[in-house]
A = this chain, B = another copy of it.
């Protein structure tokens, strides 16, 4: 095992990795930007080195600075976390050259899976399903042939496209010809290029992914799936393991093809194969993430397998002592990403200072975060405050637990999506697992709390005003006289205000 590891990241994932290292008896080295001197990952690490300015490009993305810090501290390995340099093949190579172990796959594997076209080719060769359609641009004749193969509904998309221009959803054969004409014409006027391709339209798509772990000896295991269909702005908000939707048979099929892809590129370390799935459990390869994923904890909760620790062990040359059959699923885990954002204004980030923080705890509750009372959420980095993860024996119980845990979450100073998350947990469609990537857009009623009894808020505000004057009721004792008042009054507090 390594003696010292540098964590080339910040925020909760840096903290997560530091904790894993400590438990393995490994010393930790943090790096930090100007904005992060007071950050928790610096406070928790054994050593800390400043690597530059607040903008990621001036620090966390500066490969040389990270390598310098590793050299200075004598770290034998670097864990890149996610984002920043985690999928940067060049950085992985620089580490190798500097004699520092990059905790992740080979630069070669990062490169292969980092290129979408190559990755699709690898998946295709491994007989992994891709969204059916034409490979690249097609003529009118080819288009109608492919359409016949793909079936309806399908999408016609401009090759040069983006932003919905030159894109047409076709629901039946009758509409195909006219839709193709319109798509070409729109593409021509929008991009000056009328080439289009044809692809099956996945209705109400779900995002389901397979967690992989592979050692350097050719052993590749999958740790079942995660469902990450609840998204806003194409970013995951709520993740679960296992999916409440797929069958054991589908699970096995997905796991098997995911392992195949990893074997095709001699993958090592932790990785994830992302799939899109329709409501009939047909699934199609999207991409591979060659790093640890934000939502890895839900997999850890249902398998008891510590993904981050195993990434480190594997990088240190250890062999996986398990076979696929040894990995068991138990219960259900849900993760909510708590963001500093305002759901009311299309989930716009809400940077600022955390003026007060109270986080949930108790049985089956895990809060992976790097925030604290008084910390600053700057606009330099991601606005994710914390990942709240719960485990319970069933999906229903896990959702109930999450709902209960969210009740203990209090954040002042920045807006958060906590209220929104609470409403999702109470929503019938979510509870029945009727979810897809359009869920949030389909449920604008969850954005705001609607009418509720605001009297406690007004009373609190009035007390705060009163307290700020000298004569206020600073800290009234729990007088026995409350008894009388309680007795005198009853049942008057039920009706919502206004």
* B16, A363: Cβ atoms closer than 8 Å: yes
* A23, B306: Cβ atoms closer than 8 Å: no
Count of interface residues, chain A, beta-carbon cutoff 8 Å: 48
Q: From residue 338 to 373 of chain A, which have CB atoms closer than 8 A to chain B?
A: 358-359, 361-369, 372-373
* B306, A400: Cβ atoms closer than 8 Å: no
| Chain B: minimal CB distance from A386 (Å) | 9
* A362, B19: Cβ atoms closer than 8 Å: yes
| Chain B: minimal CB distance from A413 (Å) | 16
A44 to B22, CA, bound (A): 33
* B361, A369: Cβ atoms closer than 8 Å: yes
State whether A365 and B366 are in contact (beta carbons under 8 Å apart), knowing that A22-B407, A25-B400, A331-B304 are contacts in the complex: yes
Q: Which of A135-143, A267-275, A474-482 participates in binding chain B?
A: A474-482
| Chain B: minimal CB distance from A473 (Å) | 13
Which residues on the B side are within 8 Å of A49 (C-beta)? 486
Q: Please tell me how many copies of the chain the complex holds.
A: 2
Of B50, B362, B403, which is within 8 A of A480 by CB? B50
State whether A478 and B50 are in contact (beta carbons under 8 Å apart), knowing that A393-B304, A400-B24 are contacts in the complex: yes
* A363, B366: Cβ atoms closer than 8 Å: yes
Which residues on the B side are within 8 Å of A372 (C-beta)? 358
Q: Does A435 contact B (CB under 8 A)?
A: no
State whether A362 and B50 are in contact (beta carbons under 8 Å apart), knowing that A331-B304, A400-B25, A478-B37 are contacts in the complex: no
Q: Does A408 contact B (CB under 8 A)?
A: yes
* B72, A486: Cβ atoms closer than 8 Å: yes
What is the 8 Å Cβ interface bit string for chain A, positions 358-399, against chain B (1 contact, 0 not)? Answer: 110111111111001100000000000000000011000100
| Chain B: minimal CB distance from A387 (Å) | 11
A245 to B367, CA, bound (A): 32
Q: Does A34 contact B (CB under 8 A)?
A: yes
State whether A16 and B368 are in contact (beta carbons under 8 Å apart), knowing that A23-B400, A478-B50 are contacts in the complex: no
Which residues on the B side are within 8 Å of A365 (C-beta)? 366
Which residues on the B side are within 8 Å of A304 (C-beta)? 330-331, 393
Of B331, B366, B373, B401, which is within 8 A of A23 by CB? B401
A28 to B480, CA, bound (A): 22
Of B23, B72, B369, B404, which is within 8 A of A22 by CB? B404
Q: From residue 20 to 53 of chain A, which have CB atoms closer than 8 A to chain B?
A: 22-25, 32, 34, 37, 44, 49-50
A240 to B367, CA, bound (A): 23
A373 to B49, CA, bound (A): 30
* B404, A19: Cβ atoms closer than 8 Å: yes
Which residues on the B side are within 8 Å of A186 (C-beta)? none
A411 to B486, CA, bound (A): 37
A1 to B34, CA, bound (A): 54
Query: 23 A-B contacts, Cβ less than 8 Å apart?
Result: A19-B362, A19-B363, A19-B404, A22-B403, A23-B401, A24-B400, A32-B478, A34-B477, A34-B478, A37-B477, A49-B486, A50-B478, A50-B480, A50-B483, A297-B363, A304-B393, A306-B393, A358-B372, A361-B367, A361-B368, A363-B366, A363-B368, A365-B366
Top 8 A-B pairs, shortest CB-CB distance: A37-B478, A22-B404, A23-B400, A19-B362, A23-B404, A361-B367, A23-B401, A50-B478
